[in-house]
Amino acid sequence: MSDKLYRILLFLAALAMPIVCGGVVYALVTDAYAAFEHFGFLKFLTSSEWSYTEGAEQYGALPFITGTLMTTALALLFCIPFSLPVALFVGEYFKGTKVASVLATVTDLLAGIPSIIYGLWGFYTLRPLIMELGISPQGSGVLTASLVLAIMIIPYAASLSAEFIKMVPNDLKEGAYSLGATRAEVIRRVVFPVAGSGIFSSYILAIGRALGETMTVTMLIGNTNNIPESITSTGNSMASIIANQFGEADGLRLSSLIAIGLVLFLITAIINLIGKVMIKRARIV
Amino acid sequence: MNQNNMKKIFSTVMTLVIALAVVSCGGASKDSGRKAQELSGAGATFPLPFYNVVFEHFAEVNGDVVAYGGIGSGGGVRNLRDKIVDFAGSDAFLTDKEMAEMDAVIHVPTCMGAVVLAYNLDGVNSLNLSGELIADIFAGEVKMWNDERIAALNPGVTLPAEAIIPVFRSDGSGTTFVFTDYLTKVSPMWKEKFGAGKSVNFPVGQAAKGNPGVAGVIKQTKNAIGYVGSEYAFAQKIPYATLQNQRGEFVTPTAASISAAASGTIPADTRCSITNADAAGAYPISTFTWMIIYKEQHYADRSKAQAIATLDLLKYILSDEAQHITSEVHYAPLPAKAKELSLSNLKAVTYDGEAIHN
C-alpha cells in the first residue's frame, strides 16, 4: 500500500516539472503572439529598429540577438585559455593530487558567487581599468561585459572538462607512452580526441550559462538599443533589454519583450540540447 | 493565461516583495479610532528620497505604514491601472488618452524637483549650458567638450579636448519625460527628430537603469554628462550644470529657483508642465511630481479604512510639516496654489460613491 502511495507521489512530483516547463512556454508564446502577429516572425527577428514613437512603434530583436551572440562568443573565446589549462591541470597533469583538488575547489567556488557581485566588480574595477587603458572612452560595452562573463563561465567549462579528461582510459595513454610519445603529444593525440566531444559539451553548457546572464551584462554593456559596431561599442543583450524595460513596458512593447524572452528560451534550449546529446555520445566512447 | 493575468501576477509578486521588505509596525492609528493601515504605492524613483523621509514621518505621526516601490513612473501607473496599489507615483502626468483608458483618477502634486545635468570633468567645477546646447549634445551633434559653443558660455573655464559621453535612462522614466519635454520646447531639431516621452531613442552615449544607475555611471565615467533628479546628483556629490532659462539668466537648481518655475498659472487638475518656464529666476528643467489615486476608492478589496489612510497620507504630504522636508532633501515645496487646488480636488474622492469625510 505504502509502496503504491510512494509511487503515486513520485509520479506526481515527476509530472510537475514538465507541467511547469510547458506552462512557461505556453505563457511566453501567448504573450509574445501579439508582437509576432504585428511585425511578422521573421521581420521581428531581423529588424534592428527599436523605436517608441507612439502610433509608429517598431520593435525588432536583431540588436539584442546580436548583442547576446557577441557577448557569448567573446566570453567563450576569453574563457578557453583559462578553463582548458585548469581542466588539464586537474584532470591530467596533477590528477588526484592535493594541489589539483584545491584548484578545482577554488574554480568551483567562482560558480557560487552571485552575479551581482561580478557586476559590481566589473563596474567598479574592470570598467575604470578599460577607460584608463584607453580601450574605450565610456568603459561600458560588449567587451567589458564579455570579460566578466568569461570569468563567470570558467568554472562550468573547467570542472566538467576535467571530468571528461579524467575519464580517458589509462590503457590508451600508456599505449601512446610506450610508443615514445611525449606528454604533450599524448594530450594532443589521445586525450583530446577521446575526451573531445565531452569537452565540447562542457563548453556548450558554459555557453548556455552565458546566454542568459542578465545582471552582470545589464550593469556593463551600456544598454543602448543598437547593433554594436565593434566589440568596444555599447549595446544590449536579450536578457538585459528585458531587465531594463520590462518594468515600464506595456502593450506592444511588453509583447515584444516577451517575444525576445521566448527567442532566448529557444536558443538556450537548443544549445543545452546539443550539449546533452554530445555528453551522451562522449559516454559511449 | 492571458497577458493581463500575467502582468497582474508579476506586479502582485513585486508588491508583495516590497511589502515584505518593510517592517510593519502594526498597532492602532493615532488619529481617530481606525486601525493602522498598510498602504502600498509604486512608481517614480525621482521623488523617492523625499518619499522615504515623508513616509517615515507619516508612520510616526499617524501609525500607517507606507511601502513604496521605486519601479519607475510608467510601472507605477501600470500597477494603478491593474488596481494592485493604493497610489502611483509619477513624474509625468497622465495624458488625456491614458486618462480615458482607466477609471477616473486624481493627480496630487507632492513636491517640486529639478532634473539636473550632472557631469564628470576633471578640474571643472562650474559649467554653464543652454537648452539648445544640451539638445545638440544629446543628439550627438556637439561631440567634444572643447566645442566652441560650450566654450562661449564658459569663459575662463578650461574644457578638455575629450569626447562627450552622454548618459541616459535605459528604462522608461518620468525623469526622461521631463528632460525631453524641456528639450522639445527649446530645440526644434530635438522636437522633430526625437520628441518627448518616457522612452526616447537617444542616438549616442550609454544608458543605465534608474536615477541611481545614471548617477553611478556619471560618477564613474570621466567626460560623461547625464540627466538625473537633483537629489541623486547631490547625494553622489556629482557637480551639475547651471542652465540658461528662457529669460537668458543662468540659474542653478535651488528650492527658490525651482519654485519660481511654478509661478505661472496652474490648471485645476494640476496637470501641467513647468519646464522652460517664462519666469524670472526660474530653473528651466523643473517639474511637479505627482501621486495618482482613483477617485472612487473602493476597488480590489480595499477597505474604507485603507481609503481614509490614503487620503490622510496625501493630506499629510500637502501639509506644511511635510512640505518643509522638501528643501532638506533638495526638492522644493509646492506653491500655495497647487496645495489649495489639490485639497479641493481631494474632496471629490469617494468610497462606494460617497464622499469620504474625515
Q: Do B2 and A222 touch (CB under 8 A)?
A: no
Matching residue, cell 581599468: A129
Which of A34, A138, A245 shows the shortest C-beta gap to B171?
A: A245
Q: What are phi and psi of B225, to 5 degrees?
A: -145, 140
Which of B46, B81, B121, B170 to mutate against chain A (most A CBs within 10 Å)?
B170
Alpha-carbon distance B208 to nearest alpha carbon in chain A (angstroms)? 6
> Residue B20 pLDDT more than 90?
no
Q: How far apart are the C-alpha atoms of B196 and B72, rounded to whole Å?
A: 17
Which of the four pLDDT bands, split at 50, 70 and 90, describes residue B32?
low
pLDDT interval class at B329 (50, 70, 90)? confident
Mean pLDDT within B31-44 = 81
What is the mean predicted confidence (pLDDT) over B338-353?
A: 91
The interface pTM score, or ipTM, of the predicted complex is 0.84
Q: What's the pLDDT score for residue A88?
A: 93
Q: Do B195 and A50 lie within an 8 Å CB cutoff?
A: no
Chain B residues bordering chain A (beta-carbon distance below 8 Å): 1-3, 6-7, 71-75, 78, 162-163, 165, 170-173, 195, 197-202, 205-209, 216-217, 220-224
**Tens digits of per-residue pLDDT, B114-149?**
999 999 999 899 999 999 999 999 999 999 999 999
- Average pLDDT of A1-26? 92
Q: Which chain B positions have a beta carbon within 8 Å of A127's beta carbon?
A: 220
Confidence of residue A43 (pLDDT cuts 50, 70, 90): very high
Interface-testing mutation among A26, A129, A138, A142, with chain B (most B C-beta atoms within 10 A): A138
The pLDDT value given to residue B10? 58
**pLDDT for residue B29 is more than 80:** no
Disruptive mutation site among A223, A232, A233, A255 for chain B (greatest number of B CBs within 10 Å) = A223
Separation between Cα atoms, residue B133 and residue B150, nearest integer Å: 8
State the count of interchain CB pairs (< 8 A) between A and B: 90
Lookup result for grid cell 555599447: A234
> What tens digit of pLDDT does each residue of B274-296 get?
999 999 999 999 999 999 999 99
Nearest CA to A194 out of A259, A260, A283, A105 is that of A283
Which pLDDT band, with edges at 50, 70 and 90, does B8 fall under? low
Residues of chain B found within 8 Å of residue A235, distances taken between Cβ atoms? none
Using the predicted structure, report yes or no on whether residue A162 has a pLDDT greater than 50. Answer: yes
pLDDT in the model for residue B357: 65
Look at B72 and A247 and tell me if their CB atoms are within 8 Å. Answer: yes
**SS3 label, residue B167:** strand
Q: For residue A285, what pLDDT band results from cuts at 50, 70 and 90?
A: low
**Given a cut of 80, is residue A97 above it in pLDDT?**
yes
Flag whether pLDDT at A140 surpasses 70. yes
B67 has a pLDDT exceeding 90? yes
> Edge to edge, what strands does the sheet with B286-294 contain?
B65-69, B38-43, B87-90, B286-294, B105-120, B224-229, B165-169, B206-208
- Residue B240 CA to residue B118 CA, distance in Å, equals 4
B192 within 8 A of B77, measured Cβ to Cβ: no
Q: How far apart are CA A169 and CA A184, in angstroms?
A: 17
Closest Cβ opposite residue A248 in set B74, B163, B195: B74
Higher per-residue pLDDT: B238 or B26: B238
Nearest to A27 among B6, B200, B201 (CB): B6
pLDDT (average), residues A275-285: 74
Instruction: Identify the three-state secondary structure at position B144.
Output: strand
Whole-number pLDDT of residue B6: 55
Q: What is the pTM of this model?
A: 0.85
Task: Indicate whether B253 pLDDT > 70.
Answer: yes
Distance from CA of A8 to the nearest CA of B (A): 28
DSSP string, B295-349: SB---TT--HHHHHHHHHHHHHHHSHHHHHHHHHTT-BPPPHHHHHHHHHHHTT-
Phi then psi for residue B82, to 5 deg, are -80, 0
* pLDDT category of residue B22 using cuts at 50, 70 and 90: very low
The pLDDT value given to residue A54:
75
Contacts by B190-194 with C-beta closer than 8 Å and gap 24+?
A: B190/B135, B190/B138, B190/B139, B193/B139, B194/B139
Helix, strand, coil percent values for chain B (each to nearest 5): 40, 20, 40
What pLDDT, on a 0 to 100 scale, did the predictor assign at position B148?
A: 94
Average pLDDT over all residues of chain A = 92
Q: Which of A53, A224, A243 sits opposite B207 (nearest CB)?
A: A224
Q: Which residue has the higher pLDDT, B206 or B28?
A: B206
Within 8 A of B11 by CB-CB distance, chain A residues are none
pLDDT above 90: residue B198: no
**Chain B touched by A218 (CB under 8 Å):** yes
Separation in Å, CA of A268 to nearest CA in chain B? 23
Please state the rounded mean pLDDT for residues A26-49: 94
How far B172 CA sits from the closest chain A CA (Å)? 5
Per-residue pLDDT at A284:
53
Q: Give the CB-side neighbour count of residue B198, counting CA atoms within 13 A.
A: 28
pLDDT digits (tens, 9 = 90+) for A206-221: 999 999 999 999 999 9
Q: Is there a contact between A245 and B199 if contact means CB atoms under 8 Å apart? A: yes
Distance in Å, alpha carbon of B109 to nearest chain A alpha carbon: 21
**Is the per-residue pLDDT at A33 higher than 90?**
yes
Q: Is the pLDDT of residue B16 over 80?
A: no
When pLDDT is averaged across residues A178-196 and rounded to a whole number, the result is 92
Chain A residues touching B209 at Cβ < 8 A: 218, 223, 243-244
Residue A36 predicted with pLDDT over 90: yes
Q: How far apart are CA B75 and CA B91, in angstroms?
A: 12
Average pLDDT, chain B: 88
Q: Closest Cα to residue A32, out of A265, A226, A211? A: A265
* Mean pLDDT along residues A27-51: 93
Contact residues on chain B for A124, CB-CB shorter than 8 A? 220
At residue B294, the pLDDT reads 95
pLDDT of residue A31: 94
pLDDT for res B27:
43
Put simply, the answer to whether A223 touches B199 (Cβ < 8 Å) is no
Residue A131 touches chain B, beta carbons under 8 Å: yes
pLDDT at B263: 87
Mutation for testing the A interface, residue in B80, B81, B119, B217 having most A CBs under 10 Å: B217
For A50, the closest chain B residue by CA position comes to B201
Q: For a pLDDT cut of 70, what percent of chain B falls above it?
A: 90
pLDDT score of B21 more than 60: no
Contacts of A255 in chain B (CB under 8 A): 3
For residue B225, give the nearest of B96, B100, B134 by alpha carbon: B134
Gap between the terminal Cα atoms of chain B: 41
Percentage of chain B modeled with pLDDT above 90: 68
A-chain CB neighbours of B202 within 8 Å are 224
pLDDT of residue B174: 87
pLDDT confidence band for B14 (50 / 70 / 90) = low
Determine the distance in angstroms separating the CA of B31 from the nearest CA of chain A, rounded to an integer: 36
Cα B84–Cα B86–Cα B90 angle in degrees, nearest 5: 95
Report percent pLDDT > 90 for chain A: 81
